[in-house]
Amino acid sequence: MSILLIDKPEDISSFECIQILQRRAKKEGRGKVKMGHAGTLDPAASGLLIVATGGDTKQLTDFLKLPKGYIADVLFGIATDSGDREGKEIARVSPEKCAVSEERVREVLFGMVGTLALPVSKYSAIKQGGEALYKKARRGEEVDVPVREMTVNEVEFLFMHRRKDGYLVAHIRFAVESGVYIRSLGEELGKRLGCPASLTNLRRTRIGDMDVEDAECPEKIDVIEI
């Protein structure tokens, strides 16, 4: 199967990556090329995105079921309605009142390994009534947020730093099964620590055996045979 491994940059959507590739194909004289991707990344997230072309797009569902790896930056003290930096702030406590230590974060984090029942962000792509939740949420409609089982296989506390405004950010590696929303894990970590939390950065590093180190940015992508 011929697939494209893309290292999606921040601030563009997964669909925009497809458009970049299609424009390149047209420029190279290949006309309009059918393309699809497996596993949407939010615009604010970066990292590995799998794209297939032509008849191979039918195989994309196989990649959706694979385990994934992420590196997330979790901010303690501020929560948003989307669970990441793109959302509207809904809770804030001062850094002094958010007593978070490296030892406590490690302890709580490792306690999250296993299967958890967590609410999915109302800004997720999960469909309800035939329409993605995020579309309803952005229109200001009431959204019935579903609770999903999410399986965390491994966690690794990388390091923690304090921002100039005094708030702490933990850098964490997650290895998870398909269907896990890292924003939900960040929010749950904050709840267990008794402090509002949200993601300031998210990068997908692995899908199955495929690593972002083998990917290229959309403008430079090459076909990789697997």
Catalytic residue among 42, 165, 209, 211: 42
Give 9-67 as a 3 state SS string.
CCCCCHHHHHHHHHHHHHHCCCCCCCEEEECCCCCCCEEEEEEEEHHHHHHHHHHHCCC
Whether 42 is catalytic: yes
| Strands annotated E in the chain | 2-8, 35-38, 46-53, 68-76, 78-80, 89-92, 114-119, 127-128, 131-132, 147-162, 168-176, 197-207, 210-211, 223-225
Phi, psi of 8 (to 5 degrees): -70, 125
Rounded CA separation 161/170 (Å): 7
- Residues classed as catalytic: 42
